[in-house]
């Protein structure tokens, strides 16, 4: 391992934990690039915004076009492999792994702690985002990935398989840009 003049090991890339893992912002942007929903330059811009929005403090050379493009190309291979494999948590697996009902106590400020078996079944960790909604007197917590999947399934019923809404949106945006 190379060390700098002070003997410290230089940090290579500053990205939030889980950034390149399935469900992370970097993974999602790269997956959209791999599926052809984003051009390379659009993906680089989206990656830069995701890193900056994650409130990390990267050095300028770590979020340069060149560095982010290299990251994008490197992780695109891993994302292609990950997209070819089914998700770790299918609905059937979640039902099988569903923990038994538990009691939780509302703490100071309305906080509750989600028991570990439930967090494991959802595949969430500390710091992950959850969607909350009230449904008939029940509080429902959903991962953004599950909410997105549910929305995509609902949309698929109304859009023919041979039609790409992403391509239509990109074409529409390009036409608007040309008019300006």
Residue 60: C-alpha distances to residues 11, 14, 31, 44, 67 (Å): 13, 11, 24, 14, 10
pLDDT digits (tens, 9 = 90+) for 102-160: 788 888 998 888 888 888 778 888 888 898 988 888 888 888 888 888 888 888 788 88
In this prediction, residue 11 carries a pLDDT of 47
Pairing of strands 131-135, 138-142: antiparallel
Residue 1's pLDDT is 45
Mean pLDDT, rounded, for 60-78:
82
Average pLDDT, the chain: 78
Residue 9's pLDDT band (boundaries 50, 70, 90)?
Answer: very low
Q: pLDDT tens digit string along 39-54?
A: 888 988 888 888 887 7
- Of the chain, the percentage scoring pLDDT greater than 70 comes to 81
Q: Give the model confidence (pLDDT) of 81-108 as tens digits.
A: 777 765 555 555 555 555 677 788 888 9
C-alpha–C-alpha distance, residues 136 and 120, integer Å: 26
Domain residues of the chain, as ranges? 13-85
**Distances 31 to 6, 82, 84, 111, 169 between C-alpha atoms, Å:** 39, 9, 11, 34, 17
Single pTM value for the model: 0.41
Residue 113 · residue 107 · CB < 8 Å? yes
Q: What is the pLDDT of residue 12?
A: 47
Decide if pLDDT at 23 tops 80. Answer: no
Q: Cβ–Cβ contacts within 10 Å for residue 126, how many?
A: 6
* 85 against 6, higher pLDDT: 85
How high is the pLDDT of residue 104?
Answer: 84
Q: Is the sign of the CA dihedral 78, 84, 85, 91 positive or negative?
A: positive
Token pair for 177? 């840009």
């Amino acid at each position: 391992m190379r060390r700098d003049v002070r003997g410290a090991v230089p940090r290579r890339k500053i990205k939030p934990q889980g950034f390149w893992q399935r469900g992370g912002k970097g993974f999602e942007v790269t997956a959209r690039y791999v599926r052809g929903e984003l051009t390379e330059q659009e993906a680089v811009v989206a990656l830069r915004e995701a890193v900056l929005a994650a409130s990390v403090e990267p050095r300028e050379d770590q979020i340069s076009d060149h560095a982010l493009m290299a990251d994008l190309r490197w992780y695109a291979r891993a994302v292609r492999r990950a997209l070819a494999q089914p998700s770790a948590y299918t609905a059937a697996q979640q039902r099988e792994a569903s923990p038994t009902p538990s009691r939780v106590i509302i703490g100071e400020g309305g906080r509750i702690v989600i028991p570990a078996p439930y967090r494991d079944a959802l595949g969430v960790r500390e710091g992950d985002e959850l969607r909350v909604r009230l449904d008939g007197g029940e509080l429902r917590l959903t991962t953004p990935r599950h909410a997105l999947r549910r929305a995509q399934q609902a949309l698929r019923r109304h859009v023919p398989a041979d039609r790409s809404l992403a391509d239509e949106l990109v074409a529409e945006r390009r036409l608007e840009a040309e008019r300006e």
